[in-house]
Amino acid sequence: MTFARQDHESGLDTLPRMPSWVTSARSETLEDVAFLSGAALGHLHLVLGREEVPQTLLRERLALRAAEACVTLSGRTERAGELRDMVNLLRPGDLPGPAGETYLAWRRAVERAVSVKALGRALPAVDLGQIATWLDAGNGAPLTRAAVVLDAVLTEAPRAEVPALILADAALAQALGWDHVVPLLAAGLKRTDLRKRGQNLRLACHRAVTASAVEATRLAVDLARRAALLKGVAPKLRAKGAGEAVEVFLTQDAVAPGALPLPDRAARRLCDRLVDLGAVRELTGRDTFRLYGV
């Protein structure tokens, strides 16, 4: 191992870990769960500020997680692998289906900086004026604001779970000063939670965000290590366009060889080479129509 590699891994070791008392504490009152969610969000905020963390890739992975949770909440059976196929193997003119649309909505929600226009792109069926009104519904502390937005959307449109959760996460991001939506609420809420209102819904949101912030922190640390490994093997890649291909892997959850800036055969060889080096993983387990990711 070179000294440069040692220094880089040492840098990764300084990524702050979530305190054990956040993950182990049990609480029942709104005050207690609010304290824990604030601690978890504060810790995640520190992690998101570290340059070692591949921010775009982290948001993509969290978007997939949120989409899977929303699909489950709707009673559908599609899971992460199927959602990846629906979107990444989509051909021009094909429709992604309801589950694929949910995944696309979350992906679009995290792609651009938070704004009414960007959220309108993620939620084309919702009027921009309505999006602005709902986002302005919340006030107070960040998670209180997010819970009020969630409450407002579901009260007015009880079946609009996906828009409600996206807008609640957007309100949370704005309140915390984050540039982009970081999906947290959907993965931590149960279907019964979405029927709650007022303080009961806020309580559920605090618990959901605590659990999701813990998982997001773990994912951020893991992706930082994987990204460092990919960057470390990049100089060994001789294919023309390999550098641009590495950047694609560092920003996208799953990549089909055909999406890389290389001829088809060269792209497939590069993916196989990266798998052999342990820098990326084949995500499908198939012999054809494969997808790869960090």
Rounded to an integer, the average pLDDT of 197-226 is 96
Domain co-membership, 88 together with 137: yes
Residues 37 and 63 in one domain: yes
Question: What is the per-residue pLDDT for 8?
Answer: 47
**Residue 9, domain member (yes or no):** no
54 and 105, same domain (yes or no): yes
| CA-angle at 33, arms to 27 and 39, nearest 5° | 115
pLDDT at 191 over 80: yes
Q: Is the pLDDT of residue 7 over 70?
A: no
* Structure confidence at residue 17 (pLDDT): 79
The two structure tokens encoding residue 158 = 């009880």
Q: Specify whether the CB–CB gap between 204 and 87 falls below 8 A.
A: no
Q: Is the same domain home to 258 and 167?
A: no
What pLDDT does 11 receive? 52
First to last CA, the chain: 21
Q: What CATH number did the domain enclosing 265 receive?
A: 1.10.10
Alpha helices (H) along the chain: 3-13, 20-24, 30-48, 55-73, 80-88, 97-111, 116-122, 128-135, 142-156, 161-176, 185-188, 198-233, 242-249, 264-276
pTM for the model: 0.93
Give mean pLDDT, residues 16-23.
Answer: 80
Residues 167, 252, single domain; the answer is no
Within-domain flag for 84: yes
pLDDT value at position 2?
A: 41
134/277 same-domain check: no
Same domain membership, residue 254 and residue 154: no
- pLDDT at position 139: 86
Domain with 154, as residue range(s), is 33-224
pLDDT in tens, 232-287: 999 989 888 899 999 999 999 999 999 999 999 999 999 999 999 999 999 999 99
Provide the pLDDT for residue 24. 73
Query: Which of the listed residues 224, 247, 276 is the one where a domain comes to its end?
Result: 224
* Same domain, yes or no: 209 and 259: no
Among 224, 247, 281, give the residue marking a domain's end.
Answer: 224
**Whether residue 197 is found in the same domain as residue 268:** no
Would you say residue 10 lies in a domain?
no
How many folded domains does the chain comprise?
2
Contact yes or no for 215/185 (Cβ under 8 A): no
- Cβ within 8 Å of residue 150, ≥6 positions away: 164, 165, 167, 168, 185, 201, 205
Mean pLDDT taken over the chain: 93
Residue 18 placed within a domain: no
Which pLDDT belongs to residue 264?
A: 94
Model pLDDT, residue 100:
97
Q: Identify whether residues 243 and 220 lie together within a single domain.
A: no
- Write out pLDDT tens, residues 23-75: 776 777 888 999 999 999 999 999 999 999 999 999 999 999 999 999 999 99
Instruction: Look at residue 17 and tell me if it is in a domain.
Output: no
Model pLDDT, residue 240: 86
Domain identity same for 251 and 160: no
Residues 150 and 79 in one domain: yes
Query: What pLDDT shows up at residue 146?
Result: 98
